[in-house]
């Protein structure tokens, strides 16, 4: 869906295709697959028992959520609900209107601009991402 959605800019990213690039050696490719297996087998299992909206309502650091409007991998409604109950020194949701799950690829310029603004406090000239 995200790869063919006309609302997403630069939608051609494909992790499995890209890991086949000559820039990655054999061990890189093996470790990539091992990482996926370990993530699904260990990390994701632990996430099922966590509800950020009740378990982590106060953070002592600024937090920003960078969300692609067309992301179907990470339900944005959950982030919106969490942001409402979160107590943090600074917080916010940055929407990427022409992105799916990879706003750093779909809207590269806007992603850099927003990261610099949020994390370094430097406002950059607005660019069309």
List, for residues 14-58, the tens digit of each pLDDT value.
777 778 888 999 999 999 889 988 888 888 888 888 999 999 999
Tell me the per-residue pLDDT of 111-125, one tens digit each, with 9 for 90 and over.
999 999 998 887 666
Tell me: the pLDDT tens digits for 80-102? 999 999 999 999 999 999 999 99
Q: Which two tokens stand for residue 118?
A: 């949020």
DSSP 42: I
Q: Identify which of 125, 96, 120, 118 has the alpha carbon closest to the alpha carbon of residue 108.
A: 96
Whole-number pLDDT of residue 76: 93
Question: For the whole model, what pTM was predicted?
Answer: 0.76
What whole-number distance in Å separates Cα of residue 13 and Cα of residue 80? 26
- Sign of the dihedral defined by the CA atoms of residues 58, 59, 63, 67, in that order: negative
CA 92 to CA 26: how far, in whole Å?
40
């Amino acid at each position: 869906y995200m790869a063919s959605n006309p609302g997403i800019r630069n939608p051609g990213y494909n992790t499995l295709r890209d890991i086949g690039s000559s820039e990655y050696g054999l061990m890189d490719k093996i470790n990539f697959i091992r990482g996926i297996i370990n993530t699904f087998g260990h990390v994701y299992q632990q996430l099922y028992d966590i509800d950020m909206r009740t378990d982590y309502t106060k953070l002592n650091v600024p937090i920003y959520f960078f969300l692609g409007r067309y992301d179907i991998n990470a339900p944005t409604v959950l982030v919106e609900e969490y942001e409402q109950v979160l107590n943090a020194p600074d917080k916010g949701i940055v929407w990427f209107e022409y992105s799916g799950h990879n706003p750093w690829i779909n809207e590269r310029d806007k992603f850099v601009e927003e990261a610099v603004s949020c994390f370094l406090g430097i406002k950059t000239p607005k660019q069309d991402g």
